[in-house]
Amino acid sequence: MKANNERIQKSVEELSEFTKTPGNGVTRLSYSKEDLKARKYIKEKMKEYGLAVKEDGLGNMFGKLEGKMKDAPSVIVGSHFDSVPNGGAYDGAAGVIAGLEVAALFQQNKLTPNYPLEVIAMIEEEGSRFRGLMGSSGITGSIKESDFKDVRDFDGVSATEAMSNAGLDKSLPTYRDPQTIKAFLEMHIEQGPILEENDIPIGVVQSIVGLTQLNVTITGRAGHAGTTPMDKRSDAVMAATNIISKLPQLAINEGNNTVLTVGRLQVSPNAANVIPDDVNFTIDIRSGKEEHILNVLKNVREIIRSYNSSGIKTSVEQRLYIKPKALSEDIHSILSGACANLNISHCTMNSGAGHDAMVFSDVTDVGLIFVPSKNGLSHCPEEFTHEDDLARGANVLYETAKKLTEG
């Protein structure tokens, strides 16, 4: 039995209902009401497909199918179920649904593997509330459990407080001994145009870009917009926009597909007739090579520092730093072999987006496949992947999970 296109499509539609912004894309931030509804839905599906459900101290979910071998490490399949604000129905969700579909196929085909199969649905990959890749980083130990209380959202609420407010059990263990993991497999939408433009249904990923994210604060002095002469102002917006206007050129000068984005900007007090005293913005820098990230980072810091004066103070907090990651060559060849056996054409590619797969690659063998994104769009309501493409991806994962759970 192969992946069921209708079942997959139904799950995509049902999961996308859990959004704070109906009619304007999926907005599902970690520990929100929408998270809780999606969480319930995913756990029900896990149980329906014969999996034993567990959560951890960050709210990641695991559904386990025991293997014949006692205490053997698991092959984990899945992705994240949080979203960016006004994002699409597929980023992360498609990978969780593909993991569930793999479990459904194990059940329908009455397979009892040697090694356990686990379907995973992770929180906070996007970092839209707390920090990018937080769920997987908690599992692998790159964020320590003692630090969960120090990871705060933009309103100052910590991850542990937010979990308690949502009624989740923050006292559960989160870190997993890598010895309990045999491999991690993820299907994700490509979020770019290459597969669609070349009419190739599957991309087998060999490496993922490195990235850093900064939170920059510019502090000036508030004052009256009508009565304060122009030469007597410490205007935080003017300093911030002068800085921001210089940043894209740093990535362009660096070249080699280095990219830089200022994606979030908050002005205080944000009133038409008040000179702003505080601006907060994020900077996201990415490249396939660490040296390019580090060069741009150094130049960004220098530019920001040069705006310090008697009236303006700047500060830079590094919220995330993760090196470019190469994925397992062995799993790459198993995934490619599965595509060949299923008669699905595929190509090898690199990822410009960050993924939980890159965090797992520090502790275990990792495989990541991409399925096509319509018009290359993602992180927007128009994000779309055809159910036939999702099903093809699920079949490749199923074949690979079967092989990896055998021996």
Nearer to ligand GLV, 353 or 397 (CB): 353
- Residue 132 or 372 having the CB closest to ligand GLV: 132
Which residues from 342-381 bind ligand GLV, rule CB under 6 A?
A: 353-354
Q: What DSSP line would sit under 321-352, residue for residue?
A: EE--EEPPHHHHHHHHHHHHHTT--EEEEEES
Q: Which DSSP string corresponds to 118-148?
A: EEEEES-SS-SSS-TTHHHHHHHTSS-GGGG
Q: Identify what 132 binds: ligand GLV, Mn ion, none; CB under 5 to 8 Å per kind.
A: ligand GLV
Q: Compute the half-sphere exposure of residue 387: CA atoms within 13 Å on the CB side of its CA.
A: 12
Least gap, CB of 306 to ligand GLV (angstroms): 28
Q: Are residues 365 and 183 in contact, defined by beta-carbon separation less than 8 angstroms?
A: yes
Residue number with CB closer to Mn ion (140 or 219): 140
99/132 with CB nearer ligand GLV? 132
- C-beta closer to ligand GLV: residue 25 or 276: 25
Q: Which residues pair with 314 in a beta bridge?
A: 218
Strand boundaries in 179-294, DSSP class E: 181-189, 202-208, 210-219, 223-224, 259-261, 265-268, 274-275, 278-287
Instruction: Report what 92 binds from ligand GLV, Mn ion, none; CB cut-off 5-8 Å by kind.
Output: Mn ion
What is residue 279's DSSP assignment? E
By CB under 6 A, what part of segment 112-171 binds ligand GLV?
126, 132
Would you count residue 192 as binding ligand GLV (CB under 6 A)?
A: no
Q: Which of residues 91-110 bind Mn ion (CB under 5 A)?
A: 91-92
In the list Mn ion, ligand GLV, none, the entry touching 135 (Cβ below 5 to 8 angstroms by class) is none
Size, binding site for Mn ion by CB under 5 A? 2
Question: What residues numbered 64-93 form the site for Mn ion, per CB under 5 A?
Answer: 91-92
Of residues 126 and 190, the one with the C-beta less far from ligand GLV: 126
The strand pairing partners of 286, in sequence order, are: 211, 259
Q: Which residues contact 48 (CB under 8 A, 6 or more apart)?
A: none
Rounded to the nearest angstrom, the gap between the alpha carbon of residue 201 and the centroid of all alpha carbons in its chain is 22
385-to-151, 373, 388 alpha-carbon distances in Å: 33, 5, 8
- Count interface residues toward ligand GLV (CB under 6 A): 4
- Sites of contact with ligand GLV (CB under 6 A): 126, 132, 353-354
Residues lying near Mn ion in the complex (CB under 5 A) are found at 91-92
